[in-house]
Every structure is written in C-alpha cells, then in structure tokens.
Copies of this chain bind each other. A is one copy, B any other.
Amino acid sequence: MAETMKGLKRTHRCGELTAANIGETVTVMGWVQKQRNKGGIIFVDLRDRAGILQVIFEEAECGAENFAKAEKLRSEFVAAITGRVERRAAAANENLATGEIEVRALQVRILSEAETPPFPIEADSRTKEELRLKYRYLDLRRPDLQKNLILRSKIATTIRTFLSEEGFLEIETPILNKSTPEGARDYLVPSRVHPGTFYALPQSPQIFKQLLMCSGYDRYFQVAKCFRDEDLRADRQPEFTQIDLEMSFVDVDDVIDATERMVAKVCEEAIGLEVALPLKRMTWDEAMNRFGSDKPDTRFGMELTDVSDVVKGCGFGVFTGALEAGGSVRGINVKGQAEMPRKKIDALVEFAKGYGAKGLAYLSVMPDGSCKSSFAKFMTEDELKALVEAMGGEPGDLLLFAADRLKLVWSVLGALRIEIARQLELIDDNKFNFLWVTEFPQFEWSEEEERYVAMHHPFTMPMEEDLALLETEPGRVRAKAYDIVLNGVELGGGSVRIYQSDVQERMFEALGFTKEKAYEQFGFLLDAFKYGVPPHAGLAIGFDRFVMLLVKADNIREVIAFPKVKDASCLMSDAPNLVDEKQLEELHLRITE
C-alpha cells in the first residue's frame, strides 16, 4: 500500500547533504538503492538525482512501526525519510559526496513499492543495450545517464545565455514544412485538409533563417529539432538537435569568432576545460594534404607525406601507373611498428580496400636499417633510400603507401591513420582538439550526375578572389565555408551566403539549375531576395554530437533521453506502429504491398 506525502515536505535532496548539515533534522525522498539488516540495524542507501545518502534505522530510535517499514524496503522502493544528520559512526566513505555523514531515521513512509527491476540500477552497466532501451525509464535512473542528461541541459542553458547576451534572438521556425525534392530524404506528414498533399519535417531551418535575415532580425539562433529519413549510423538519429545560428552584416571571421567563444564558454562551464582562443584554422587543402580528411583528428601525428615526386621514375608499376593516370602516391609513417605481424598488416590492407584502395604498399625500416617491403624488389637501393628519407623513416618504422586518384589516396590514408592510432592507442582521451577547416571547395564533381554539385548548398558564397573562375574552372573555386572540428569529428559548419542576385544566378548556372528548377525549389527565398537582402552568414552545430564528445560517450544514444535504434524504431514505445483504418481514411491514404 502506497502512503501519501501529505503533511511532509522534502527539505533536501539526498546528495546535497554534507557535514555542514550535521545536527539538522531533514526530510529526504528518493529510491532505495540498497537495504541491509546488519545485526539488528537497518542500513538504507537512498538515491535521488543529486546522489546517494546512507540512512540508519535503529528500532530504539525510530520505533517499532517505522522499523518494520524499514525492514520492508527493497531496491527501487520510493521512500520519504525524516531523520537527524550525524557524522558517520563508521569511517567516512570517500567514494560518496555524502560519505562523511549519515541520517539516523526517525520516520519513514513508503511512497511506492517496486518490483525487482530487470537489470541493476548502477553506473557502467553491462546490461545489453536492447534491454536498457526497452526499459529506458529504468536505464535513465543510472547515474551515468543522469549525469549526461543533466550536463546536456546545462550546456543548452549555457549556449542560450551566451547567445542571448550576444544579441541573438531565439526564433522558432515551423516543423510542418514544404517538401523539396533535393537533399536527404524528408519525413512526410500527410495533410487531412488537403488530400494528397504532404508536409515535410525540416532537415534544417536553413531557408527560414535566411528569410529572418532578410526580415532584419540580424542575429538569430535556435536549438532546432531536425529530421532526416536516412539509414542510421552510430552518430545519427532520425531526429536530432542542432544549434542553428545566422548573423547579418558579417563575414567569415565574425561567425567564427562568435562560435568559438560560445564553444569555449560551454567547455569551461560544462566540463571545466579551458580552450585557448582563437582556435587553430586550417584550409581544406592543408587538412586534406596533411591528414587526408576534412575533419582531421590532430590529437596525434602520423601525417600524410606526398612522395609522388620521389617515386616518379621508379620501377614499381603500381606507383608509376597511378601517377601516369594523373593520380598521386602518398604515405604515412607508423613509428616503431616495423615488426608489425604480417597478419595485422594484411588486416590493414583489407581495411584500406574497404575504402576503395586496390591495395596498400608497405615498407618496414628494420632495426639494422635494411628495408623489408612488398615492393622493394621493384626499386633500386637509391630509390628505396630516397623514399624512406622523404617519409622521415627511421629504423623501426613501418611505412604505408597508397597510390591512386588523389581523392581516394586521401580517404584511404585518412581512415587508415585513425584506425592505426586507435589500434595502437595513440590517442589521448583527455585532449580536446578543436580546429576550423576553411576554404572548402565550392563544388564537388558528382560522378553519378556528371555535373558539379554544391559541397555545402547552392547559397554558399564563393571567395571573392575565385569568383572569376565560376564559369571557367568551377573545380578550383573555393567557398566561404567553414567547419568546426573536434577530435576528428565534424561538430558543425556553415558559410557566408550569397546575397547578390547576379552571383546567385551564376551559381545556379554553374550547378546546371534552370531558372525554373531553382524557383520550384527555393521560390520564396529567391522572391524574398528581391526586396533588399543583407550580407549574412551562419552555422549549425550538431548538439547531440557536441554533448556526446564532451561527456566522452561513444554513442549518441547516451546523451538522448529517448533515442531510437538503427531501424528508427523506439524499443520502449514500439513506435512506429499500426494505426486505425479510420485514420488512414481521413488522410485519403491506402497502404500498398
């Protein structure tokens, strides 16, 4: 039988009591973590979101009725306990914030009984995730998830406070939007009032925030829910949250400045981390050449070296063939791994092939200075020596080479570098390496569509000095686009937007858009641009991902209260589910096979 809390008022949270409260009579309420009877004394660990508190029942002190109730307490029962705070009779428990004290109970009410939960409520759970997600309401009691969600809330508050103080206005944009055919797949919402038509859930508030700039709001932000109906990866959810912002009358540096001060503030307030500003910046070219990635993890070295010139005339056909086809030969130096077992090297070759490489050439600089290599026999001693030297190879090093189209070489070595660093545990988990990658290419060539497509989106402003190349060499045009990267993860990105109709027209032309097609997709934005548009720029940060990195979780589900799994379903609620035939009729829909 559940008792009521009538006449009772909680005075403190369990985890908030300290030695400063000794002597006070307090009332705490929470969940029983543990109850045990040791020689006629009942010890209860009571838990709430602030922490765990030890409560002690002695019959002489609390009376028979309360003692009997204390005996009935089981794990996860909810109890309200009134008692006196005293210094612990036993030695202090240093693992507990409340470890110096205990509460000697005078009264207890059992507010709610509980069945035995299907898994223990404790940190570092080894329960398999499916079960945890099915019983998410129990999983959410675990201290590590509580810590994550409490921090998430704090980070959101910090961001909002910072942006408000900087003059940003939080403006809500619609969730029920117009569907546009390009980009990722929309989630659709059938309209009942207009049979046969649909709303789309927003993939981002991009167009709305640009409209708000046209409307003069000057600085906008939103902690915005966005949706993409794509197959999920570890760091993706069908719905996700982004810190979305846009500023008028600014250029690249203004957005970067505001963003990095915001990020530094969050790091300081959320996890006490000092981030030195300004953050490092690196052009896209430099990032690709040094790290083979536009989101380089700079917590370790193992950078790429271009050896194309060195191997140009050598006897190894794989290298020279790639070069003759217009490709590149580049390598990474895995220090001290010259004697990596063949099996492990083979696994790396397979890994590289997963990224599209035809193979991976390797060379071990043995302790005695000699070279052991898959391709040594095709090269002269001098060629080998020059190659090792170019790679900074020293006795004990393992050199790995990819030879192919440059884009492929980058992606293979970029991925390999991360994989090897993980295997060799070269990455310092306590480092938070932020950096900006700037000057992205405006376009990338789509093999599929046989045309240039926008790397960011068609409203991204090209760099002034490259404007003239728009018609002649689009592949060389750089954009005023920037990404912020943390520990090898793209935290967010943005760009300066085109605000001149002549540049916008040239851009659509470069992208092969007819005027009609452009209008069909972006009509109301293009219309808005006719009536006076300010220079503007913005950025969006993946909020879930940012929180995940700050709490060092390895999965985005650990920072979302009610996440979905890989097939976009919710194991707790069983969404999505079947609906009544009547509901479908109202929407004028029928399900096909």
Contacts and interface: CB of A to CB of B under 8 A. Distances in A.
A422 interface: no
A502 interface: yes
B192 A190 contact: no
Contact of A534 (B111, B140, B214): B111
Contacts of A249: 5, 10, 29, 80
B499 A208 contact: no
29 contacts: A5-B535, A29-B248, A31-B532, A49-B216, A49-B217, A76-B532, A77-B532, A111-B499, A112-B534, A117-B531, A137-B214, A138-B215, A146-B217, A156-B170, A157-B160, A161-B161, A172-B561, A173-B562, A174-B562, A175-B175, A176-B187, A176-B227, A176-B564, A178-B577, A187-B199, A193-B569, A194-B568, A196-B591, A589-B591
A30 interface: yes
Contact of A171 (B149, B197, B464): B149
Nearest to A1: B502
A210 B416 CA distance: 46
Interface string A241-252: 100000011010
Interface in A166-196: 169-179, 181, 185-196
Given A140-B212, A534-B29, A587-B188, A561 B171 contact: yes
A507 to B, nearest CB: 14
A194 B76 contact: no
B114 A197 contact: no
A249 B31 CA distance: 12
Interface string A7-32: 00010010000000000000001111
B588 A591 contact: yes
A114 B531 contact: yes
A528 interface: yes
Contact of A500 (B76, B112, B564): B112
Given A137-B211, A212-B140, A500-B112, A575 B5 contact: no
Interface stretch (A262-270, A325-333, A368-376, A578-586): A578-586
Copies of this protein in the complex: 2
Contacts of A160: 157, 160
B579 A198 contact: yes
B579 A179 contact: yes
Interface size class of A (residues with CB under 8 A): 35 or more
B191 A576 contact: yes
A11 to B, nearest CB: 11
A216 B30 contact: yes
Interface string A500-538: 111000000000000000000000100110111111000
B579 A239 contact: no
Nearest to A221: B153
A494 interface: no
Contact of A239 (B153, B176, B218): B176
Interface string A141-159: 1000010011011001100
